[in-house]
Amino acid sequence: MEKFIDLHTHSIASDGTMTPSEVVAEAKRAGLCAIALTDHDTTAGLDEAKRAGLECGIEVIGGIEINADYDGEMHILGLFIDEKDPELSAAIGEMKNFRAVRNETMIHALSEMGFPITNEEVCALKKGGDLSNIGRIHMARLLVEKGLFKNVQEVFRDYLGTGCPAYFAKQRFSPQDCIRLIHKAHGLAFLAHPILIVPEEDRLRSLLSFLKSQGLDGVECLYSSHPPVYQHLCETICHKLSLLKSGGSDFHADNKPHIKIGHVFNEAPIPYKILQDIKDFRDNLL
């Protein structure tokens, strides 16, 4: 019987709406045998997810999704990381402190623009929420709940999207530093959802060639918004550059309700062979 996986999921440790154990339970319901929990700039949910995985028979791989400084936005996925690594932990702590200041600044900006929201109200939308672990999605949801906007897309378009009046940039490391941090934590580094960064073939080839020279291990070829043509392009480039292939849904539960755990474009499942190839590569490094 064929087995299926998902190597890109999120919990309430970042901007998902399920607890880490709920994400694992959702994977079990979906018939998956393995997932990676890859919350944004944090490993806070990994202990809970791994315990839940042991209890219900789901393999949980330690992961993270780090924001990288690039023209626009780039995310680097770390898989099989040691979440206790001191250098990675220090970097995460630095990002956490910056995130709290950034969130408070954006909430204040929205309030100054005539939208009456407070830190406490935004944090209350998330279980265990505080200024260091909420995000723009929670601000947008609160504005919609207050009847000030029709939907969160409208909030992002006019106020919270990149370059908008209430937007303030995230702290980001260079792609090279993201890769180095992941390697230092004994993980493998993958470029997440490349179609959101470079949809054009020539730019994609150039970017992946550069990142490969900086130590990138692989590419998220299978992804929710990668049509077959783009997936094939990613796989072709990976073969040429000797890069690994990964696959993930980018599951966020209610914050991205159109995305189902374990499914990519047109609800295709992600085969276990993707994970097995990564494991084989990793075993050869050890």
**CATH number of the domain where residue 100 is located:** 1.10.150.650
Q: How confident is the model at residue 73 (pLDDT cuts 50, 70, 90)?
A: confident
Residue 208 in domain: yes
Q: Are residues 70 and 186 in the same domain?
A: yes
Q: Which residues contact 76 (CB under 8 A, 6 or more apart)?
A: 65, 66, 68, 175, 178, 179, 182, 189, 190, 191, 192, 216
Q: Are 200 and 215 a contacting pair, CB within 8 Å?
A: no
Supply the pLDDT for residue 214: 97
Domain's final residue, options 130, 160, 190: 160
Number of Cβ within a 10 Å radius of residue 276: 13
Instruction: For residues 181 and 186, give the distance between their C-alpha atoms in angstroms, rounded to a whole number.
Output: 9
Q: Are residues 186 and 215 in the same domain?
A: yes
Q: Are residues 210 and 275 in the same domain?
A: yes
Q: Are residues 259 and 204 in the same domain?
A: yes
Q: Are residues 199 and 278 in the same domain?
A: yes
Residue 166 in domain: no
Q: Are residues 233 and 96 in the same domain?
A: no
Q: How confident is the model at residue 171 (pLDDT cuts 50, 70, 90)?
A: confident
Of 108 and 126, the structure prediction assigns the larger pLDDT to 108
Domain that holds residue 119: 92-160
Q: Are residues 211 and 150 in the same domain?
A: no
Domain's final residue, options 132, 160, 188: 160
Supply the pLDDT for residue 71: 80
Q: Into how many domains does the chain fold?
A: 2
Supply the pLDDT for residue 170: 84
Domain's final residue, options 127, 160, 193: 160
Instruction: For residues 197 and 131, give the distance between their C-alpha atoms in angstroms, rounded to a whole number.
Output: 28
Instruction: For residues 98 and 91, give the distance between their C-alpha atoms in angstroms, rounded to a whole number.
Output: 11
